[in-house]
Amino acid sequence: MANLLYDALFATHANRQNNFILDPFSDTSLSYGSFVKQAAQFANVICDAGLAPGDRLIAQVGKSVSALALYAGAVQSGVVYLPLNTAYTTTEVEYFLQDSGARLLVCDTDSESGLTSSCKNQNTAVLTLSSDGKTGTLIDLVNDASDSFKTIDRSADDLAALLYTSGTTGRSKGAMLTQNNLLSNAQALHKLWQFDDKDVLLHALPIFHTHGLFVATHVCLLAGARLIFEPSFDTDRTLKLMPHATSFMGVPTFYTRLLDQKNFNSELARHMRLFISGSAPLLADTLNLFQQRTGHRILERYGMTETNMNTSNPYNGERRAGTVGLPLPGVEVKVTHLESGAELPTGEAGQLEVRGPNVFKGYWNMPEKTQEELRDSGFFITGDIAQIDADGYVHIVGREKDLIISGGYNIYPKEIELVLDDQPGVTESTVVGVPHPDFGETVVGVLVGKKDSINIKQIEAAVAESLARFKHPRKLIVVDSLPRNAMGKVQKNELREEYKQLFSDTQ
Ligand code: MLC
Ligand code: AMP
């Protein structure tokens, strides 16, 4: 047997001296060969920590080359990589620790103390890694570890990663991603988007999500391309670095922020060959404005944690504004009736379903939830409402799932409603997403209770205590009652309509 994912992404680069990571500011670089050696050191430390193939490793660490080498070491040692948003609070991380049964937690030096007791309770080892990837107990061990490691065999259907995507019921669900889920998708994108070893990807996405870790990094690894590996997205730095790059991937907020910069123009983008957008809807206006400003037409694609990428606008061919393009080779999409599941005729809007080698194995420890969303036929029910036009282009027209996407991050209202309902004086609450000029959508909490019995500041403090900053309602509104339909269901669309101007640019 072999380790398909490791062999394709990393082993192929062993001993190669060509550049992998570039830093144009300091004019330094790291070769592929050196990176592969670093990964082996991390793999040795992971095994020395007692992890066996299939064990889970939680990484809640800043974006650094060491963090990427930790991921590569996890793949090489056959453990299941479980990345977490660095914004998650201790309370949120404790859930993931317990649900995943992780054997090792790698966290930032600053957050170790808050997690030590939970880790001790469930016999999870803890190692630290500083946000710049240069220090911590993990690095101390890596520095003493051998830079060669016998790669652990893993089959195509073995788990490679476990990524949590919050659930409408409030409990995050772990999406089980196999070696083949990840490799087949990376191979399809590598070919479709024509990446090669002359490319330099300006990588400003976090690597604790699908977009930054699997779409951006895997495609470059397969192509032998170079990465300008930014710790996070910073508009000014992006403008300075762009002349050194050939390609860029981002969420729509990256693009609207670039367009807000008057000095962002075709001159700065003259070396670029490809801009890709995803994770949230890209407005047709943004796409057209970007093309007018730079001469480049952004290529929009659509994916999910459970399926990696499903559709993409073509590299050569019409990049149709307001659509997420055509199904990837090997991927099938169909639109079905919300209740009956029957396939709908072309052009009709309904539930978007996806089938292919990219579709995950199921939700960790949630067989019923898996059964609900993954049909016996292999089609996965995405929760997105779409219509497919006569040319086969997929238009995402809405969401059946109760989801807010803010700056590319998924936020599930239920998780926030549970906290708000718990607050003194609140008899009930509901959370909706409303348009936001920068983040696309943002969170509004609507509370029912007696005005004088609700303390907004205290509620904001309670929310901050248990939920990551990006989930915090940007506005809390107290009302006498919530709009309900005849069945008693809260009419969130009425509230979205009522508050849609709350953050409008034209205020
Ligand atoms: C940061 N903040 C956010 C936020 N990001 N609040 C809401 N939504 C977000 N997305 C908080 C900050 O902590 C800060 O809090 C305040 O909002 C202002 O932050 P900012 O300085 O404006 O944010 P910034 O740090 O610049 O980050 C914004 C961003 C970042 C867009 C660069 O959110 C980002 O990198 N998003 C990418 C997410 C991503 O990779 N999605 C892919 C999911 S995978 P305070 O305390 O200072 O007020 C997927 C599948 C697929 O969806 O198809 O790809
Ligand atoms: P996540 O679960 O974090 O991977 O988010 C996946 C969800 O993001 C999808 O189900 C869609 O709702 C949304 N999404 C991703 N890409 C796009 C896109 N290009 N256009 C609209 N929505 C998108």
Domain boundary among 125, 154, 183: 154
Q: Are strands 350-355 and 380-388 parallel, antiparallel or unpaired?
A: antiparallel
Asked if the structure places residue 161 within a domain, the reply is: no
User: Residues with Cβ < 8 Å from 334, sequence gap 6 or more?
Assistant: 343, 352, 353, 379, 388
Radius of gyration of the chain (CA): 23
User: Residues with Cβ < 8 Å from 206, sequence gap 6 or more?
Assistant: 63, 85, 86, 212, 232
Q: Which domain holds residue 476?
A: 404-498
Q: Which of 311, 491, 283 is nearest to 402 (CA)?
A: 491
Asked if the structure places residue 132 within a domain, the reply is: yes
CATH no. for residue 484? Answer: 3.30.300.30
Residue with tokens 């999406």: 175
Asked if the structure places residue 54 within a domain, the reply is: yes
Asked if the structure places residue 452 within a domain, the reply is: yes
> Measured from the CA of 211, which atom of ligand 1 is nearest?
54
SS (H, E, C) 19-85: EEEEECCCCEEEEHHHHHHHHHHHHHHHHHCCCCCCCEEEEECCCCHHHHHHHHHHHHCCCEEEECC
CATH no. for residue 92? Answer: 3.40.50.12780
Asked if the structure places residue 317 within a domain, the reply is: no
Q: Are strands 404-406 and 409-411 parallel, antiparallel or unpaired?
A: antiparallel
Number of domains in the chain: 2
**Closest CA to ligand 1's atom 11:** 470
CB under 8 A, 24+ apart: contacts of 119-122: 122/97, 122/98
Asked if the structure places residue 220 within a domain, the reply is: no
Rounded distance, CA 431 to CA 425, Å? 17
Asked if the structure places residue 453 within a domain, the reply is: yes
Per-residue pLDDT of the chain (507 residues; tens, 9 = 90+): 799 999 999 999 999 999 999 999 999 999 999 999 999 999 999 999 999 999 999 999 999 999 999 999 999 999 999 999 999 999 999 999 999 999 999 999 888 999 998 899 899 999 999 999 999 999 999 999 999 999 999 999 999 999 999 766 678 999 999 999 999 999 999 999 999 999 999 999 999 999 999 999 999 999 999 999 999 999 999 999 999 999 999 999 999 999 999 999 999 999 999 999 999 999 999 999 999 999 999 999 999 999 999 999 999 999 999 999 999 999 999 999 999 999 999 999 999 999 999 999 999 999 999 999 999 999 999 999 999 999 999 999 988 888 899 999 999 999 999 999 999 999 999 999 999 999 999 999 999 987 788 999 999 999 999 999 999 999 999 999 999 987 888 899 999 999 999 998 754
Domain boundary among 104, 122, 154: 154
> Measured from the CA of 215, which atom of ligand 1 is nearest?
54
**Closest CA to ligand 2's atom 7:** 304
Domain boundary among 94, 124, 154: 154
Name the residue of 181, 229, 230, 253 to mutate for ligand 1: max ligand atoms within 8 A of Cβ.
Answer: 253
Rounded distance, CA 490 to CA 435, Å? 20
Rounded distance, CA 120 to CA 28, Å? 41
Name the residue of 310, 396, 400 to mutate for ligand 2: max ligand atoms within 8 A of Cβ.
Answer: 396
Ligand at shortest distance from the CA of 281: 2
Residue 281 Cα to ligand 2 middle (Å): 7
Q: Is the dihedral of CA 9, 15, 16, 20 positive or negative?
A: positive
**Phi and psi for 152 in degrees, rounded to 5?**
-80, 135
> Measured from the CA of 210, which atom of ligand 2 is nearest?
4
Asked if the structure places residue 122 within a domain, the reply is: yes
210 lines ligand 1 (CB under 6 A): yes
Q: Are strands 380-388 and 28-31 parallel, antiparallel or unpaired?
A: unpaired
pTM: 0.95
User: Residues with Cβ < 8 Å from 150, sequence gap 6 or more?
Assistant: none
